[in-house]
Structure 1
Amino acid sequence: MPSIKRINFVENNLLRVLTREIQEELAESKLERIYPLKVQGYAFAMSTRRGPRYLVCSLHPSLPALYVSEDPPNMDKERTTPYDHHLKKARFSAINQLNRDRLIRIEWEIINPVLGRTQLTMFVEFLGSFCNLILIGQDQKILGFARGQTPDDKQCRLIAKGAVYESPGPPLAYHVSDMQEPAFMKLFSQASSNKPLWKFFVMNLTGLSPQYAQEAIVRAELPVDLIASELDSSQRKQVWQSLQKVLELCGSDSYEKFYLYQNPETDTPLAISLFPSRLFPDMEEQSFPNLNQATGNVHPSILSRFELDRKKSKILKQVNKKIKKASALRKSLQQDLEKAKNADQYRLWGELIKANMRNLPRGQLEIKVTNFYDPKNAPVTIKLDPKMDLHKNADSYFRIARKAEASKVFILKRIKMNNSELVKLTQLRDDVEARGSVEELEAMELSKDGKILVKKEEKRSKSRTPRLREYRISDGWRVFVGRNGKENDLLTHRLAEFSDLWFHAHGAHGSHVILRREGRKTDISWKAVEEAAAIAAWFSKARYSGKAPVDYTEVRYLRKPRGAAPGLVTYLQHRSIMVQPGLPPKYPLAEQDQEEKI
């Protein structure tokens, strides 16, 4: 059985053929617009001689691909891209593969009536799991990119706007097409004692994918899982000859068909081959007239399934974690319930101690008495605390019984809630597993913790406005105090009226304090102003000062600068007053009024 997990759409030989097909398909075409793909990548909407086409460049770390499609891919028409401004009205010039590797260069031409012709170059880098799409100008400086500096970039290239573009450079290992037989035979001296032959080839030879490495081994009539160090000289010769045949088939300039192999039982595509493969004798074979069609026929569905499985796995991991936690809680609650069921026994012990109190001496560790409530009058042994008299021991057992009885009701309530939660979580898990597409999964509107967002939003919509600190001062005026920057903004800019008085400690961090007029026409007394100012000084950094200056003004004169931090305001005019920081005399009683809404 071949060791291939999924199709490699950017295999070196496939890219060589694809770039040639794309060149023919997009010759003399014009770029209409660039769309971001729903899943990591871009689609270039092209106007060609044959009609509209889409150059699809998927930058998915596990399933990258490059192909031309007649049908629009799954793209996001709302978002913009880093290339829109630079490639406006651009024309497609050329596409080619560099260094026989997974590096593609696309040339664009822009014709401007004033500036003339401008050439822009786009590099598509399919380098491991960090794929990129980099646009550079004629001065070799970067104009746009999909991803910045990559963590595994050995050359430490700077990928940023305005930086000079540096190519990843040629591969360090031998290219398999350049290798001669003596060098190939010498390569086996480095073979590990436990590494499969095909994996050994892939690690030491550039330009040879796992699929074609295994193809060469099968054509040499050797087992696919053969260990590299176990080959004798004749077997090495066989592998060399079969490898040359595979390279010859891969290097052809003309192909009549392209072959897709998939598992007939699971309907899962496994590989695309440039020639009839011997690696998949039991797999279903389909043929296509060109490689673009073969790629475009399976890549979207494989990517969709991959993303569906990935998102399902992420959600199910969270849901199963909650199920495990709820199951553990249920087990713990059942144990607590068993303990709570002993309430009757504790009460019985208390009654028996009380009934035999006159006949028992003090200071004993345990007593043995007759159980009058038992039909057979069986004896019962009861442990005692020798530091307490019998009356207190009886009261202790009555108290334990009451607690056990009370906890039993509470535990039963929690068990009911726990069972309900387990049912909901199990239903949610089954529902997630039943979803057949990413769209269906997204329609569930799942939150990060595996709950439905709709319910969360309904709960949030019912939440009340945060309750602010409230105090009563002279003449019955009400004063409100913000606890933090957010509450200060809420109090000053949303809840306060223009005619209300605003107080704040001068030159010190502190709370906003609002003295509400609440429609009263009477003037605010000087005493009330002093008390409100004292509250503002108390809830500031000047709390422990002997005297502190406090600014006050009407709310109508306050302004909040655009982009200012929460709680920051400016005021057009104000007055100042020196007060001793403190709370009003009726402060302890003011807590009773906090239930009132502002």
Structure 2
Amino acid sequence: MFKNYFFLKRCAIELNQVLKKEIILEAYTQERDKLYLLIGNDNLPNRHVVISTNPIIPYVFIKDNHFRAKINTINFFNEYLPAEIKQIDIATNDRIIRITLNSSNIYFIVRGNQTNILLVDNESKVSVFKKSKKNNPIDLRNEVMSLKFTDSFRDNRKDYNSNNLTLPHISKEVLSEIEVRIKSGNKNDFQDIQTEVIHAILKNKIAIFYNNDMHQPMMCPSSFLTYTIPKSTELFNSYNNSLGMYLSIKFRNESISKLKAEIEKYLFRELEKLSSKLNELKKRIDAGSKEGLYKYFGNLLLSNRPLIKKGMKEICLCVQDSKEEIIINLDPKLSPQKNIDVYFDKSRNEKINIRQSHNLYEKIENKYKYLLKIKDEYDNSTELESFSDIKKKLKLNSILKPIKLVEEKIKYRHFLLEGKYNVYVGKDNVNNDLLTTKFAKQNDYWFHARGVSGSHVVLRVNNQKENIPKNILKNVASIAAFYSKSKTSSLSPVSYTFRKYVHKKKGLEPGKVILSKENVVIVKPEIPKNCELLDE
């Protein structure tokens, strides 16, 4: 109701009483839809009048202490300022507040989506705060200059009679209050009740409270019957003070709503993801390790190596000291020794994988329990400070940054080094291309085992000013060697460079790239101990 015509009239009259003969030193904007008028004096050097042209929240508000931003500000109406305020008044039948200066008038026009600020000088030259295709500045100028304005609480009774109910200043709130008062039966004369309601808006103390049914703050005269005003509600004599409280509550509640939505979205997403991961790891752990089985197959193949021929898809071997036969699958493309190595590699990987699964399960379970604790704290919070504290605990400033669509749809192996550095590993040739050309950023580090086929590996660099430690680069190189044909070697050379030096030329096969610049490091192919597998 704060933008009701009669409240705006009360606002204009208060502004005139406080600011008449004061000097507007400058006018500028530093945020969307707001014009700041610096009207400082010896007692209040940083006093501003803030005019909001936001179509949902249009207002004029005196702010005793405001400082202009050092950057990203734009001046308005320079050629007319500084200027003394001669008068502040409002149109007699429209939500248009006029500030009369030495050689110009500033008009604050409240009209929904077309809310704007207009300056018209004594020569009828027009300047606008917001450009609009719908409203011609000349037409607006002609309209406002034809209106009558008032700076008095007294108006002719005929201006508000029942024949004028379609005028902009007779709002739904006024009509609703008139209807409630008629139904209460104290008075029956519509015109008398209408005058009484208007007088209440112009003269009564103003109540600011939160309406739980409507889920929003309310601002209305303390004598209004339309709303149930709590007994503990603070009352204000000044429109400006009441508006300040109203805006404070409104913006505070909007901040709480945004924070709640942000936190709730994150908690739901993370708890669901962690729950799914825990279930997967539980199945993996319950299934047990196949380390011994793969090692047994490897030894059995090794002892029967002469029987293995390249091109075989499987081999049937007798178990030692038993008539039982066992069928072992082979890769027909691999040599006998390579097929044997595959099972020994599987055995080693299984040992590493089961250990990592146990460690990862414990870490994820701890995080899951922590987030459940945070959720409980969230469910019992009501204050902005509490939600802000939860947001800090969850470190949402960095977590909830917009994610590119390609990152959401494409999956890579994801490792976390030392709890800080994100490492991504391609799964096949096509996946390698996507990782390198679509996912990796120009200043990310790129790794590949030198001279052999293998996965593309990317170390994400979030802060370009940060120097990545050498041990981290070696750790990532070890991961690249591990996911390559050099996996079984004791040492392996690995090329690394920035992504911007990796080029994919037209016609190259999937997974193939060209490096215009590279460094080489010799490392042991392995998954480092300080490395945590986040996503397979």
The change in CA–CA distance for 1:169 and 1:134 in structure 2 (over 3 A counts) is: closer
* Residue of structure 2 in register with 1:106 after alignment: 99
d(CA) in 1 for partners of 2:114, 2:127? 19
Once the two structures are TM-superposed, the CA of residue 91 in structure 1 deviates from its matched residue by 1.1
* Residue of structure 1 in register with 2:10 after alignment: 17
Deviations 1:24-45 (A, max 9, x none): 3322222244465779634434
Once the two structures are TM-superposed, the CA of residue 124 in structure 1 deviates from its matched residue by 1.8
* Residue of structure 1 in register with 2:532 after alignment: none
Query: Which one of the candidate residues 395, 398, 407 is aligned to 2:353?
Result: 407
The reply on whether 1:211 has 2:189 as its aligned counterpart is: no
Give the residue type in structure 1 aligned to 2:50: V
The change in CA–CA distance for 1:352 and 1:133 in structure 2 (over 3 A counts) is: same
d(CA) in 2 for partners of 1:274, 1:450? 42
Find the structure with the greater CA-based Rg.
1
Query: Which one of the candidate residues 58, 61, 80 is aligned to 1:64?
Result: 58
Query: Which one of the candidate residues 110, 119, 127 is aligned to 1:135?
Result: 119
* Residue of structure 2 in register with 1:280 after alignment: 227
* Residue of structure 1 in register with 2:88 after alignment: 95
Deviations 1:77-128 (A, max 9, x none): 535442262342211123333473433332221xxxxxxxx2x222323333
Once the two structures are TM-superposed, the CA of residue 442 in structure 1 deviates from its matched residue by 11
Number of residues of Structure 1 aligned to a counterpart in Structure 2: 395
* Residue of structure 2 in register with 1:166 after alignment: 140
d(CA) in 1 for partners of 2:341, 2:227? 82
Once the two structures are TM-superposed, the CA of residue 589 in structure 1 deviates from its matched residue by 13
The change in CA–CA distance for 1:300 and 1:401 in structure 2 (over 3 A counts) is: same
Give the residue type in structure 2 aligned to 1:55: V
* Residue of structure 2 in register with 1:247 after alignment: 194
User: Unaligned regions of 5+ residues in structure 1, if any?
Assistant: 1-7, 110-117, 150-154, 171-175, 185-203, 223-237, 358-362, 468-481, 488-586
State whether residues 120 and 141 of structure 2, in contact with CA within 8 Å, keep that contact through their aligned partners in structure 1.
no
The reply on whether 1:271 has 2:218 as its aligned counterpart is: yes
State whether residues 53 and 116 of structure 2, in contact with CA within 8 Å, keep that contact through their aligned partners in structure 1.
yes
* Residue of structure 1 in register with 2:255 after alignment: 308
Deviations 1:364-417 (A, max 9, x none): 999999999xxxx9x9997765998xx999987665444433333444565566
Deviations 1:276-332 (A, max 9, x none): 111233523444334334334x13522541453265257536744763575266347
* Residue of structure 1 in register with 2:105 after alignment: 121
Query: Which one of the candidate residues 437, 454, 463 is aligned to 2:467?
Result: 463
The change in CA–CA distance for 1:134 and 1:295 in structure 2 (over 3 A counts) is: same
The change in CA–CA distance for 1:424 and 1:257 in structure 2 (over 3 A counts) is: same
The change in CA–CA distance for 1:364 and 1:76 in structure 2 (over 3 A counts) is: closer
Deviations 1:238-270 (A, max 9, x none): 9x968655532244499543230425999x984
* Residue of structure 2 in register with 1:157 after alignment: 135
* Counterpart secondary structure, 1:28: coil
Once the two structures are TM-superposed, the CA of residue 436 in structure 1 deviates from its matched residue by 2.6
* Residue of structure 2 in register with 1:234 after alignment: none
State whether residues 305 and 437 of structure 1, in contact with CA within 8 Å, keep that contact through their aligned partners in structure 2.
no
* Counterpart secondary structure, 2:107: strand
The change in CA–CA distance for 1:205 and 1:105 in structure 2 (over 3 A counts) is: closer
Deviations 1:10-31 (A, max 9, x none): 1222112222232233222222
What TM-score, normalized to structure 2?
Answer: 0.53
* Residue of structure 2 in register with 1:295 after alignment: 243
Give the residue type in structure 1 aligned to 2:195: E
d(CA) in 2 for partners of 1:324, 1:446? 15
The change in CA–CA distance for 1:103 and 1:405 in structure 2 (over 3 A counts) is: farther
The change in CA–CA distance for 1:106 and 1:342 in structure 2 (over 3 A counts) is: same
* Residue of structure 2 in register with 1:3 after alignment: none
What TM-score, normalized to structure 1?
Answer: 0.48
d(CA) in 2 for partners of 1:330, 1:143? 61
* Residue of structure 1 in register with 2:207 after alignment: 260
Once the two structures are TM-superposed, the CA of residue 591 in structure 1 deviates from its matched residue by 6.0
State whether residues 288 and 294 of structure 1, in contact with CA within 8 Å, keep that contact through their aligned partners in structure 2.
yes
The change in CA–CA distance for 1:435 and 1:20 in structure 2 (over 3 A counts) is: closer
d(CA) in 1 for partners of 2:299, 2:515? 49
* Counterpart secondary structure, 2:39: strand
* Counterpart secondary structure, 1:100: coil
Identical positions, percent: 13
Query: Which one of the candidate residues 288, 293, 311 is aligned to 1:341?
Result: 288
Give the residue type in structure 1 aligned to 2:10: V
State whether residues 285 and 358 of structure 2, in contact with CA within 8 Å, keep that contact through their aligned partners in structure 1.
no
* Residue of structure 1 in register with 2:485 after alignment: none
The change in CA–CA distance for 1:136 and 1:589 in structure 2 (over 3 A counts) is: closer
The change in CA–CA distance for 1:76 and 1:364 in structure 2 (over 3 A counts) is: closer
The change in CA–CA distance for 1:289 and 1:382 in structure 2 (over 3 A counts) is: same
Give the residue type in structure 2 aligned to 1:215: E
* Residue of structure 2 in register with 1:46 after alignment: 39
Give the residue type in structure 2 aligned to 1:301: S
* Counterpart secondary structure, 2:206: strand
* Residue of structure 2 in register with 1:557 after alignment: none
Give the residue type in structure 2 aligned to 1:103: I
Deviations 1:226-245 (A, max 9, x none): xxxxxxxxxxxx9x968655
Give the residue type in structure 2 aligned to 1:258: K
d(CA) in 2 for partners of 1:438, 1:102? 38
Cα RMSD, aligned residues only: 6.1
